[in-house]
Structure 1
Amino acid sequence: MKSFETKDMSTGQVHNYLQHAIAPRPIALVSTIDKAGNVNLSPFSFFNLFSANPPVCVFSPSRRVRDNTTKHTLENIQEVAECVINIVDHNIVYKVNQASAEYPKGVNEFYESGLTELASIHIKPPRVAESPVQLECIIKQVIPLGDGPGAGNLILAEVKTIHFRDDLLDDSGQPIQKNFDLVARLGGDWYTRVTPESLFALPKPINEPLTQ
């Protein structure tokens, strides 16, 4: 086994190794808006669910490694503390990838990627109409993890409204996991797709003493 000390590595090397190892990572396609009404859309794979009561997701727009600049998503949230976390399935992943390009401030990635704006119910940023699940969120806290290149900014987003595409729920309103067709990020340019063939169920163990 080969070992590395992160203190002896460049930020780019640390980023590369960790992204390959800590995977797959779900993708938050985040829509935000600034105080002038300019919409931004950007994907983040430093993302997950952290609480159900209150319902809170966390994602992290990191500072750019090459020049230490911050991303428009973070800047918008500091002006308008709302966002939509749009979940990414295979149907939209190529358009999501296009939205990750670094466009100048004020450019609407909805138009550049070919995705469709859909008005949210309670907040200003629009939803992605093609996304299978859309989470309208209020920003509760922004936690900077550093001020150097590659430093993350943890965005604590409280989910206020959840939108599910109709075919993702059965007649009783329960999610049908195999219908989601989710994709996730790996290292480098790699993605993975959750297909019905790759799914398996594993019931929680019963908490009983082991028998000899």
Structure 2
Amino acid sequence: MSIVVDRHTRIEPNILYFGTPVVLISSTNEDGTPNLAPMSSAFWLGWRAMLGLGARAKTAHNLVRTRECVLNLPSDALASAVDRLALTTGSDPVPERKWERGYRHVADKFERAGLTAVASETVAPPRVAECPVNMEAVVEAVHPVGDDGGVLAFEVRVQRVWVHEEIRMAGTDDRVDPDAWRPLIMSFQKLYGLGPQVHPSTLARIPERMYRPDEDLERARALQ
């Protein structure tokens, strides 16, 4: 019997952000102005997404109140624009915990980031023109995370998906070209790009259409 040496070391990381796409969430403030906030605690299932946000964050307050948002996915080329939003908040006054971490209030996040707001079709918050992917979404459920209520998990349902032409797979209206799409990735508070494919995927043999969420797509198509 062969003996395998375990190369692992037990540690207690302060955070477990091993690498997820950056999302710029646009939402609507009480006065009707847009808020724009970067986050990376997100994953997708069909045409739904789960978003993890601090309960005291301005974006969380807006989502609870209005039940809608836009999920804008920046490419790695937009890293500097995303970074200009770091340590900013739409909350005024700045929550104490954020103040302690160096955050400051910024009313116009689009101007701060140097990004352009464009009108959405099914929700009030604007889309980000420079982001290659925009997803208009509505909140379906809000789930408290943990015992202290400091984090909320938002289940959102996507109603429209918009992409830049250069990342759409040629000749299709239902596929993104993964070789052309270069998402911005957050890993342990640092920004990275996505490298080229490293190995063929057996899962890629399954046609993407077999994963289509028919019920949510029909609801999205019914919106005018």
TM-score under structure 2 length normalisation: 0.74
Whole-angstrom distance in 1 between the partners of 2:91 and 2:29: 10
Runs of 4+ in 1 over 6 A off after TM superposition: none
Residue 205 of structure 1: how far off its partner (Å): 9.4
8 Å Cα contact 2:118/2:128 also seen in 1: yes
8 Å Cα contact 2:72/2:135 also seen in 1: yes
Match for residue 76 of structure 2 among 90, 95, 102:
90
8 Å Cα contact 2:35/2:90 also seen in 1: no
Residue 104 of structure 1: how far off its partner (Å): 4.7
Aligned twin of 1:39: 34
The within-5 A match list for 1:115-130 is 115-130=115-130
Residue 147 of structure 1: how far off its partner (Å): 6.0
Residue 198 of structure 1: how far off its partner (Å): 4.5
The within-5 A match list for 1:21-36 is 23-36=18-31
Whole-angstrom distance in 1 between the partners of 2:164 and 2:76: 14
Q: Which amino acid aligns with 2:185?
A: A
Aligned twin of 1:100: 86
Q: In the superposition, relative to structure 1, how do residues 105 and 204 fare at CA in structure 2: closer, same or farther (>3 Å)?
A: closer
8 Å Cα contact 1:25/1:185 also seen in 2: yes
Residue 172 of structure 1: how far off its partner (Å): 2.5
Aligned twin of 1:167: 166
Residue 202 of structure 1: how far off its partner (Å): 1.4
Q: Which amino acid aligns with 1:117?
A: A
Q: Give secondary structure in 2 for the equivalent of 1:177.
A: coil
What RMSD in Å do the two structures reach over aligned CA positions? 2.2
| Aligned residues with identical type, % of pairs | 20
Match for residue 62 of structure 1 among 40, 51, 54:
54
Q: Give secondary structure in 1 for the equivalent of 2:14.
A: helix
Residue 146 of structure 1: how far off its partner (Å): 3.7
Q: Which amino acid aligns with 1:182?
A: P
8 Å Cα contact 2:76/2:192 also seen in 1: no
8 Å Cα contact 1:178/1:199 also seen in 2: no
Aligned twin of 1:177: 178
Q: In the superposition, relative to structure 1, how do residues 172 and 62 fare at CA in structure 2: closer, same or farther (>3 Å)?
A: same
Residue 24 of structure 1: how far off its partner (Å): 1.7
8 Å Cα contact 1:34/1:79 also seen in 2: no
Q: In the superposition, relative to structure 1, how do residues 154 and 121 fare at CA in structure 2: closer, same or farther (>3 Å)?
A: same
Q: Give secondary structure in 1 for the equivalent of 2:121.
A: coil
Q: In the superposition, relative to structure 1, how do residues 198 and 172 fare at CA in structure 2: closer, same or farther (>3 Å)?
A: closer
Q: In the superposition, relative to structure 1, how do residues 125 and 104 fare at CA in structure 2: closer, same or farther (>3 Å)?
A: closer
Q: Which runs of 5+ in 1 are unaligned?
A: 7-12, 64-69, 207-212
- Cα deviations by residue, 1:22-68 (Å, 9 ceiling, x for unpaired): x2211111000023202111111111102x2xx211111125xxxxx
Aligned length: 182
